Amino acid sequence: MTDTPSPQPAGPEVIRAFVRTLPSAPGVYRMVDANGEVIYVGKARSLKSRVTNYTRPEGLPVRIQRMIAATVSMEFVRTETEAEALLLEANLVKRLKPRFNVLLRDDKSFPYILIATDHEAPELTKHRGSRRRPGHYFGPFASAVAVSRTIASLQKAFLLRNCSDSFYAARTRPCLQYQIKRCAGPCTRETSLEAYGELVEDARLFLTGKSQSVRDHLQKDMASAAENLDFERAALIRDRLSALAVVQSQGGDATARNVEEADVFAIHHEGGQFCVQVFFFRAFQNWGNHAFRPKADDSLTDVEVLEAFIGQFYEDRTPPSLVLLSHEMAERELLEEALRSRAGQKVRVETPQRGEKRDLVNYAMQNAREALGRQLAEGASNRTLLEGVANCFGLDDPPRRIEVYDNSHISGTNMVGAMVVAGEEGFSKKHYRTFNIKSDIAAGDDFGMMREVLTRRFARLAAESETDAEDEATGMPDWPDIVFIDGGAGQLNAVRQVIAELNLPKEVTFIGIAKGEERDAGREKFFMEGKDAFMLPHRDPVLYYVQRLRDEAHRFAIGTHRAKRKKEQISNPLDEIEGIGPTRKRALLNHFGSAKAVARASLMDLAAVPTISSAMAQLIYDHFNRT
């Protein structure tokens, strides 16, 4: 008779053992469950005092009691200050995603405008990611569309180039941007570098909020040109002033007359969900907003969620000099200290009660309330549709994850498969996937393409994911409940063969959708295993929903195929040479100006390029000079 292993100690007893050795100093603690997963990360001014609270769970919220009961071990990191602990806590929460913490879901990197100064003629461009390139960064902007629109207006106003350095170096005459008055033409010295530098400085001043001084300067130049009867130059300056007015009018309804730089946060809580609306104000202009939906327990207060959210929001972002909040923070001074260390300058955190700042916060709150209302309404509608899907296709429960597959190619070239995903919150683009067809499949063999796509998808899923696993950030399950295939009985048979060979650990419902007669929407036939082909009523909302799913998969597949085909058409000849990566390719293009010039270069000239060895120069020369 074998002894049953005793359960692993957990709860307050385990925590008491750690308390005895803890210092009364600031730091971060992690609570770990029986599976070795971190379930909570917290910071403390005094580790000993904070962790001692967990040894007396009576009277604590149910969420905290559950967390304590699941704890079998703890880990600690001591810090010099409580501000350091706050920053470390935010970093660990974003990286580990503990299930009892507030989690910043749908996080994104916001685009910036960059005036790059690592070139004789600085470039005006859009930028994402780390700020390694020397230059002036302006942002963040809430969307790439807003950045592109602003850059287009800035080109009209300041005539700054937005071409690549290699394109600039290869010019022997001005390009189209100069002809349509979007660039000053520094590449061919249509404008001297000194005069171009003045345009760059005007753009920098404008983007840092000195717009009135720039406008006054241009208006004086326009008046001077008119007095000297240089009406063409006066008209050009007039157009530049109009472009500046366009940039300043792009802020929407919210404007800031006295707030030069600030991030505005407002939180709204309804229906067990939270929404945090963030507005970005820079240079007295509204540069857009974004709605976040942090994952948080319904028992938490708005202040607790907002405080945790801000720490994670600025974990990898530079805060502005002013942060405006809809709720007063319990540890405002600590937050200011942490943000100051992140920004390298003084940062004020305020909860305004009156005046223009309060108006900005109220506007953000109104947007948070409306965004959450739309989300709840859409979620209710989606839940109704998913219940309808379950009824129509014989599922026991509404599906939490639906996958739809489609293929795209032209005469067997650039073959791709596409998968789109939908759930209670609509389309989940984070989970979309594309599949480049790798096997040697005959042109037009849609069955073979679908077999490869599904084999790769479900073989990997079975090997890497438990049947009940889900995305911590979004709650989306890893395994689909239902899969729609674009095709009829033939495609479904191909799918059955794949699934039978894989012997999946979880049952998944596969359904084929055959287009109606003459590809008429509304006449689709559905194919399921063990059932005769059937159709849904013409005006059934579920039919419209499935059509939307299929159309989205088709759009995604076609778009991926076109992007792949376009990339192949514009591929650089240097990409064909083994050993030429991004660094060497950039060095060659910067040195010679174009791939055509590289092809004409001598062996000696190639070897003179930095990062190009003699052997690599010989390889490049041989590639372009084959007999």
pLDDT digits (tens, 9 = 90+) for 101-145: 999 876 778 899 999 999 999 999 999 888 888 999 988 888 888
Per-residue model confidence (pLDDT) at position 7: 61
Helix (H) or strand (E) holding 287, with range, is: strand 285-292
Helix (H) or strand (E) holding 527, with range, is: strand 525-528
Q: Is it the case that residue 380 has pLDDT exceeding 60? A: yes
Closest CA to 140 of 129, 152, 132: 129
Residues 226 and 273 in one domain: no
Residues 121 and 91 in one domain: no
**pLDDT tens, residue by residue, 271-298:** 888 999 999 988 788 888 899 999 898 8
What is the rounded CA–CA span in Å between residue 281 and residue 462?
47
Rounded to an integer, the average pLDDT of 430-440 is 85
Phi-psi region of 17 (alpha: psi -120 to 50; beta: other; left: phi over 0): alpha
394: in domain: no
- Looking at the DSSP assignment, which residues form a beta bridge with residue 44? 27
Q: What is the CATH number of the domain that holds 296?
A: 3.30.420.340
The sign of the torsion formed by the CA atoms of 597, 599, 605, 606 equals positive
Per-residue model confidence (pLDDT) at position 466: 81
What is the rounded CA–CA span in Å between residue 132 and residue 153?
26
Residues 310 and 217 in one domain: no
Per-residue model confidence (pLDDT) at position 327: 94
Q: Which of 356, 373, 390 is the last residue of a domain?
A: 373
Closest CA to 553 of 409, 443, 411, 403: 403
What is the rounded CA–CA span in Å between residue 133 and residue 117?
8
Average pLDDT over all residues of the chain: 86
Q: Is it the case that residue 2 has pLDDT exceeding 50? A: no
Q: Which of 533, 566, 599 is the last residue of a domain?
A: 566
**Count of domains in the chain?**
5
Residues 70 and 188 in one domain: no
Helix boundaries (H) for 24-175: 47-53, 62-70, 82-96, 144-158, 165-170
- Is 0.75 surpassed by the pTM of this model? no
- Looking at the DSSP assignment, which residues form a beta bridge with residue 403? 421, 483
Per-residue model confidence (pLDDT) at position 359: 93
Residues 64 and 147 in one domain: no
103: in domain: no
Task: Tell me which residue range forms the domain holding 582.
Answer: 573-624
Closest CA to 63 of 307, 297, 305, 303: 297
CB count, 10 Å around CB of 611? 13
Rounded to an integer, the average pLDDT of 18-34 is 92
- Of the pLDDT bands very low, low, confident and very high (cuts 50, 70, 90), residue 484 is very high
Per-residue model confidence (pLDDT) at position 1: 42
Largest CA distance in the chain: 108
What is the rounded CA–CA span in Å between residue 450 and residue 405?
8
254: in domain: no
- Of the pLDDT bands very low, low, confident and very high (cuts 50, 70, 90), residue 192 is very high
**pLDDT tens, residue by residue, 584-602:** 888 888 788 777 788 888 8
Residues 62 and 186 in one domain: no
Find how far residue 196's CA is from the centre of its chain.
Answer: 34
Rounded to an integer, the average pLDDT of 181-206 is 89
Per-residue model confidence (pLDDT) at position 110: 87
Rounded to an integer, the average pLDDT of 343-348 is 90
Find how far residue 149's CA is from the centre of its chain.
Answer: 19
Per-residue model confidence (pLDDT) at position 470: 82
**pLDDT tens, residue by residue, 347-370:** 999 999 999 999 999 999 999 999
Q: Is it the case that residue 220 has pLDDT exceeding 60? A: yes
Per-residue model confidence (pLDDT) at position 250: 59
- Of the pLDDT bands very low, low, confident and very high (cuts 50, 70, 90), residue 68 is very high
What is the rounded CA–CA span in Å between residue 463 and residue 596?
47
Residues 463 and 431 in one domain: yes
Measured CA distances, 69 to 21, 63, 191 (Å) = 21, 10, 72
What is the rounded CA–CA span in Å between residue 306 and residue 201?
38
First to last CA, the chain: 81
390: in domain: no
Residues 46 and 147 in one domain: no
324: in domain: yes
Q: Which of 551, 566, 581 is the last residue of a domain?
A: 566
Pairing relationship of beta strands 433-436 and 413-423 according to DSSP bridges: antiparallel
CB count, 10 Å around CB of 475? 13
Q: Is it the case that residue 446 has pLDDT exceeding 80? A: no
Closest CA to 210 of 244, 234, 162, 252: 244
Residues 405 and 548 in one domain: yes
Residues 406 and 429 in one domain: yes
Residues 347 and 418 in one domain: no
Amino acid code (one letter) for 414: N
> Could you give the count of Cα atoms lying within 13 Å of 456 in the half-sphere of its Cβ?
17
What is the Cα Rg of the chain in Å?
30
380: in domain: no
1: in domain: no
189: in domain: yes
Length, in residues, of the chain: 627
Per-residue model confidence (pLDDT) at position 156: 82
3-state class of 147 per DSSP? helix
Cis peptide before 140 (omega within 30 of 0): yes
Residues 358 and 455 in one domain: no
